[in-house]
Structure 1
């Protein structure tokens, strides 16, 4: 069973491939995101929000040195990376998402300055939600996310009917998958191929993007974790495969 994974071509992709192999499926690594740093550090503010491991790494490389700011991580993976680089982490929401962080900060940021440091494709849910809670919000783009030139192997496989599963880890991976298919002139065929596959998305926003673009979504884990996404999708895929053989 072939399962496509779209993580950036770094240790995250290696870990995803290892996990899928441990689940006895064949990974189809097809990175749909590449990082282009801006070499910019987060500004000083009352609250500073980091939303990804990559953002933390690039902020550190750009010389970020927080003072009295309240440092917030959107989830535990981001918090772990902050601690790894020697930063204190003051707030991590129970629900690892933009909505979860807004809910956690809503009663603390009225009249405060909030710096959101992230990629150029961050969701407006976070910035709008904090602004609606009374915060003076500033956003710093730490990096751009672009599609690698050689991406699209998974779209070709889907169009040929050879893709059994696809694991989308952000709205941008959905868009880039379809862009790669469009570039090859196989968008319709790739979408048809996904109809016969088990499709998983890492969270609600990614699910919504997929559905808006005509992709049926079968699996969304309760927690935004690739490990859970992969395990739940493979379990569903295997159950469907077993039923088909009966």
Structure 2
């Protein structure tokens, strides 16, 4: 008998988690849905700027719900999913960096923003790489927190599975998913065992910052896709984990 690859996914408990489970099912994997992020909107809306930066689909949705209008601002998206969400809500997108990271967006804007007001609208856990990089390029940077990210109550099933050696792969989509999984493991008294179990599994990180966070915590990362895209991450991780099948 073969056993499906058991893959933990940590996306927020909304359509992103539903889509992730559906994708993993289609890849022949056994998804373990263990949300590590809960979105708590602040009610704020992006403030005016010559450039306005959105960093996530969630941020776009909240800005749209608040009736945000960019006016003459150049609208910047940190990646393709954010850009797609902006277009779906009727916004024009002026800048999408080649590299879908904070550093990539800084590189795309650094020659344009000297003396300009740049509004960064995102979660309360946004990387300082973005705001500090833009400030170093001469921008007048303002940050608006559109939502806070907290760990949902009851999370951590995947930590217990990893600690028991019953997890084949894990898909980390942000540094915060790493930190919250380790917090959940510590609450259950299995942090060390969970790290050991993850190191026997195939671990995927959506981008370099997430990989660095995992590695700093002692988690070995096996897969980082070229594009910071969940589907690319899931496909690469399942493919890497597939040889663990036993006929």
CA displacement at 1:49 relative to structure 2:
0.2
Q: Residue 214 of structure 2: SS of its match in structure 1?
A: helix
Q: Deviations over 1:209-240 (max 9, x none)?
A: 0000010000000110111101111111113x
Which whole-Å CA distance do the structure 1 matches of 2:26 and 2:46 have between them?
38
- Gapped regions of structure 1 (runs ≥ 5): none
Q: Deviations over 1:14-42 (max 9, x none)?
A: 11111111111100000000000000001
Q: Residue 35 of structure 1: SS of its match in structure 2?
A: strand
Residues 1:20 and 2:24 are matched in the alignment? yes
Which whole-Å CA distance do the structure 1 matches of 2:83 and 2:196 have between them?
39
CA displacement at 1:96 relative to structure 2:
1.2
Which whole-Å CA distance do the structure 2 matches of 1:42 and 1:18 have between them?
33
Q: Residue 225 of structure 2: SS of its match in structure 1?
A: coil
Where do 1:103-142 residues align within 5 Å?
A: 103-142=107-146
Residues 1:61 and 2:65 are matched in the alignment? yes
Task: Give the one of 132, 145, 148 matched to 1:144.
Answer: 148
Which whole-Å CA distance do the structure 2 matches of 1:233 and 1:83 have between them?
29
TM-score by length of 1: 0.97
- Gapped regions of structure 2 (runs ≥ 5): none
| Structure 1 runs (4+) greater than 4 angstroms displaced | none
Where do 1:1-246 residues align within 5 Å?
A: 1-239=5-243, 241=244
- Alpha-carbon RMSD across the aligned residues, in angstroms, is 1.0
TM-score by length of 2: 0.96
Query: Aligned pair count?
Result: 243
CA displacement at 1:111 relative to structure 2:
0.5
Q: Residue 232 of structure 1: SS of its match in structure 2?
A: helix
CA displacement at 1:195 relative to structure 2:
1.5
Q: Residue 12 of structure 1: SS of its match in structure 2?
A: helix
Which whole-Å CA distance do the structure 2 matches of 1:107 and 1:41 have between them?
27
CA displacement at 1:63 relative to structure 2:
2.1
Q: Deviations over 1:171-206 (max 9, x none)?
A: 000000000001111111111111210000000000
CA displacement at 1:102 relative to structure 2:
0.6
